[in-house]
Structure 1
């Protein structure tokens, strides 16, 4: 009998178009309608954009989480800000610290890129259950999100 202990290997890395199938599965867990071909096209087109970034969390070689962000600056801002556009951890792997590690990677990226703030919005009621997670990481709720359809 061996005394070896198995420790799963978790890796946070930059996302690529090759991750489209895994990202599509994750997106569907939160009811985002998409297809693998559409996701591959989006990921590939933004892969080397200087103001967009996506990361994945790989557990023993399998993608179990993803986070995407966009940095921008407007004429009323002294420094740019970074917006988290999506964060998804596979439902079988939630509560294990993977989301926290993805958030840490995003914070580091934003700081390296000169952002003064990291923010996100969650508009759907079923996603409000994530609010305590974000608050635990230091996010504060401020204001309201207003939107208007242009189509």
Structure 2
């Protein structure tokens, strides 16, 4: 089938893919998160389906910019099943998202990719990304 918008019915397979990215135990919160993504016009959650099985996912956020021309598109989660890597699926998904970003007046795509994900770094460099080394994060207290 290829690339399509995610559905709530995909939650179990999405959770399994997130587990491969070292995000365990997402099955408890994934349904609520997927529903939230599907309702937000600035969020896109896509999956790649093959033989009725979700084997990849990407979440893309469109971020309007105030002081510069063009907006940003940010990849927050991108996973291709361990057994399906190396077959061009990630490239197809990233290129599809690039097209979506251009249609949304974005002039930049960005992704934060942990330093331990060496193979992912190689993938992003092949796709035309450049490294931008500063990234700051501030943890906030949970509100739940």
Is contact 1:26-1:88 (8 Å) kept? yes
Among 32, 42, 64, the residue aligned to 2:23 = 32
- Cα offset, 1:121, TM superposition: 1.0
Report the structure number with the largest CA radius of gyration: 1
**Aligned residue in 1 for 2:133:** 143
**Aligned residue in 1 for 2:83:** 92
Is contact 1:122-1:128 (8 Å) kept? no
- Cα offset, 1:115, TM superposition: 0.8
**Aligned residue in 1 for 2:65:** 74
* Gapped regions of structure 1 (runs ≥ 5): 1-9
Is contact 1:56-1:67 (8 Å) kept? yes
Which segments of structure 1 move beyond 3 Å, counting only runs of 4 or more? none
- Of 102-111 and 74-83, deviating more is 74-83
Task: With the length of structure 1 as denominator, give the TM-score of the two structures.
Answer: 0.87
* Gapped regions of structure 2 (runs ≥ 5): none
Task: With the length of structure 2 as denominator, give the TM-score of the two structures.
Answer: 0.91
Kindly indicate whether residue 16 of structure 2 is the aligned counterpart of residue 16 of structure 1.
no
- Cα offset, 1:28, TM superposition: 0.4
**Aligned residue in 2 for 1:120:** 111
> CA-atom RMSD, angstroms?
1.4
Distance (whole Å) between structure 2 residues aligned to residue 39 and residue 100 of structure 1: 25
